[in-house]
């Protein structure tokens, strides 16, 4: 499974304006609803439920909120670069400015974990994150994510 299989160019938000974790999850749920056809409220509830189990702020300015939805038939991702970093209750207590939402079908156990690992591995690369942070357009961010992911496919 490649990152390009999870995320489409129209699932990149190059400059998201939010001021809180809740607002970020709401806005990303709205955009994910447009992409998936699943109700915005349903996506938001799944993401918030997952956050209650423990933060998805993994450190170094990165968060990977995720959840499973019975309405989906394939894994889908949405990526956002925030205009201004926000508090996301991250494990390193640093603000977050890069968010990758990962949504999976209910029965996607191993594939869901593989996708999380793939996204995590990609975003652990500081040079990839710096390139993303320096990009202004969705096309540029999509190119960085998909090209870098191909070289991180170990």
Q: Which domains does the chain have, with CATH numbers?
A: 3-151 (3.40.930.10)
Active site residue 112: no
Phi and psi at 65, nearest 5°, equal -65, 140
* pTM assigned to the model: 0.94
Statement: residue 17 has pLDDT above 90: yes
Task: State how far the alpha carbon of 144 is from the alpha carbons of 9, 25, 42, 110, in Å.
Answer: 11, 23, 30, 26
pLDDT at 152: 56
47-63 residue pLDDT tens: 999 999 999 999 999 99
Query: DSSP strand E in the chain: where?
Result: 12-16, 57-59, 62-63, 66-69, 76-86, 96-105
Nearest to 30 by CA among 65, 99, 78, 95: 78
Statement: residue 93 has pLDDT above 70: yes
pLDDT at 150: 66
Return mean pLDDT, the chain: 93
**Residue among 66, 81, 112, 118 flagged as catalytic:** 66
Q: 69 falls in which pLDDT band (50, 70, 90)?
A: very high
């Amino acid at each position: 499974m490649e990152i390009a299989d999870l995320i489409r160019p129209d699932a990149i938000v190059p400059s998201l304006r939010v001021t809180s974790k809740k607002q970020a999850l709401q806005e990303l749920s709205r955009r994910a609803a447009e992409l998936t056809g699943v109700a915005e409220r349903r996506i938001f509830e799944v993401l918030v439920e997952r956050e209650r189990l423990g933060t998805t702020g993994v450190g170094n300015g990165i968060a990977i909120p995720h959840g499973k939805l019975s309405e989906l038939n394939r894994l889908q991702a949405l990526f956002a670069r925030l205009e201004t970093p926000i508090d996301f209750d991250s494990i390193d207590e640093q603000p977050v400015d890069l968010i990758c939402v990962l949504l999976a079908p209910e029965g996607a156990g191993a594939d869901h974990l593989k996708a999380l690992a793939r996204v995590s591995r990609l975003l652990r690369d500081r040079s990839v994150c710096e390139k993303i942070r320096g990009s202004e357009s969705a096309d540029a961010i999509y190119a960085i994510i998909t090209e870098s992911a191909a070289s991180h496919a170990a």
